[in-house]
Amino acid sequence: MFVSRVLLVRTSSHLMGRQQTLGKFLEMPRGAKPAPPQQSNLFEMWKGGKRKTGTEPKKEIKEELIKVEIKEEEDRKMDVDKPGESSKETEIVKNGPSAAKRRRIVDSDDDEPSSSVAQAINSSLPGTSPPASRASSPHSSRSPEPKRKRKGKAVAAAESSRAESGTAATSDPSDDDGEEEVEKDELDEDEGITAVEGAAASKTHSRGCSVADKRSRYTWWMEVFLSVPYSALAKTFSLIESTTKRLEKNAYLTSFLLLVIQRSAQDDYKSLLQTVYLCINRLSPDYEGIELGIGESLLIKAIAESTGRSLTVIKADLKREGDLGLVAMNSKSSQKTLFKPKPLTLPFVFSHLKEIATTAGHSSQAKKVSIITKLLAACQDIEAKYIIRSLEGKLRIGNAERSVLVAVAHAIVLAEKEKANKRWSNEKLAKRLEEATLMIKSVYSELPTYDKVIPALLGVGVDRLKEICKLTPGVPLKPMLAKPTKAIGEVLDRFENQHFTCEYKYDGERAQVHMLENGTVGVFSRNSEDMSKKYPDLVDQLPKCIKETTKSFVLDAEAVAIDRTTLKLMPFQELSRRKRKDVKMEDIQVRVCLFAFDLLYLNGEPLLQKPLSERRKLLRDHFQPISGEFDFAKSSDAESTEQIQSFLEDSVKDGCEGLMVKMLDSEASYYEPSRRSVNWLKLKKDYLAGVGDSLDLVVVGGYYGKGKRTNVYGAFLLACYDEDSETYQTICKIGTGFSDEMLQSHYKELKPLELEKVRGDISVGGAKPDVWFEPKVVWEVLTADLSLSPIYTAAQGVVEERGISLRFPRFIRVRDDKNADDATQPDLIAEMYKRQALAQKDSKKKGGDDDSFW
For 685-698, the pLDDT digits (tens) are 665 544 456 899 99
Supply the pLDDT for residue 109: 40
Kindly report the number of other CB atoms within 10 A of residue 544's CB atom.
10
Distance CA 215, CA 221 (A): 10
Supply the pLDDT for residue 706: 82
Q: How many angstroms separate the Cα of 77 from the Cα of each of 87, 90, 158, 199, 654?
A: 10, 11, 15, 17, 97
Distance CA 416, CA 370 (A): 43
Distance CA 144, CA 77 (A): 35
Distance CA 382, CA 235 (A): 7
DSSP string, 14-67: HHHHHTHHHHHHH---TTSPPPPP--SSGGGGGTT-SPPS--PPPHHHHHHHHH
Q: Give me the active site residues, please.
A: 505
Distance CA 721, CA 794 (A): 9
Phi, psi of 601 (to 5 degrees): -155, 135
> 829: closest CA among 795, 792, 784?
795
Phi, psi of 759 (to 5 degrees): -70, 155
Kindly report the number of other CB atoms within 10 A of residue 733's CB atom.
18
Confirm if 57 and 14 have CB atoms less than 8 A apart.
yes
* Residue numbers of the chain with a pLDDT score lower than 50: 1-26, 28-73, 76-133, 135-224, 689-691, 837-840, 842-847, 853-854
Length of the chain: 854
Supply the Cα-derived Rg of the chain in whole angstroms. 32
DSSP string, 511-576: EEEEE-TTS-EEEE-TT--B-TTT-HHHHHHGGGGB-TT--SEEEEEEEEEEETTTTEE--HHHHT
Q: What is the DSSP letter of 187?
A: B
Kindly report the number of other CB atoms within 10 A of residue 694's CB atom.
20
Q: How many angstroms separate the Cα of 535 from the Cα of each of 570, 594, 606, 665, 845?
A: 17, 11, 25, 34, 42
Distance CA 261, CA 15 (A): 16
Supply the pLDDT for residue 230: 96
Supply the pLDDT for residue 44: 40
Confirm if 322 and 760 have CB atoms less than 8 A apart.
yes
Distance CA 602, CA 5 (A): 61
**Contacts of 845 by beta carbon, 8 Å cutoff, 6+ apart:** 834, 835
Give the model confidence (pLDDT) of 48-67 as tens digits. 334 443 444 444 444 444 44
Residue 775 CB-density burial (10 A; 0-12 exposed, 13-18 middle, 19+ buried): buried
Supply the pLDDT for residue 339: 79
Q: How many angstroms separate the Cα of 450 from the Cα of each of 146, 256, 474, 475, 605?
A: 44, 18, 14, 11, 22
Extended beta strands in 573-615, E state: 591-602, 605-606
Supply the pLDDT for residue 495: 87
Distance CA 455, CA 584 (A): 39
In b/e form, how buried is each residue of 261-290, taking b as 16+ CB within 10 angstroms? bbbbbbebbbbbbbbbbbbbbbbbbbbeee
**Contacts of 557 by beta carbon, 8 Å cutoff, 6+ apart:** 510, 511, 512, 513, 594, 595, 596, 597, 598, 633
Supply the pLDDT for residue 692: 52
Distance CA 129, CA 141 (A): 10
pTM of the shown model: 0.68
Q: What is the DSSP letter of 707?
A: G
- Residues β-bridged to residue 755: 772
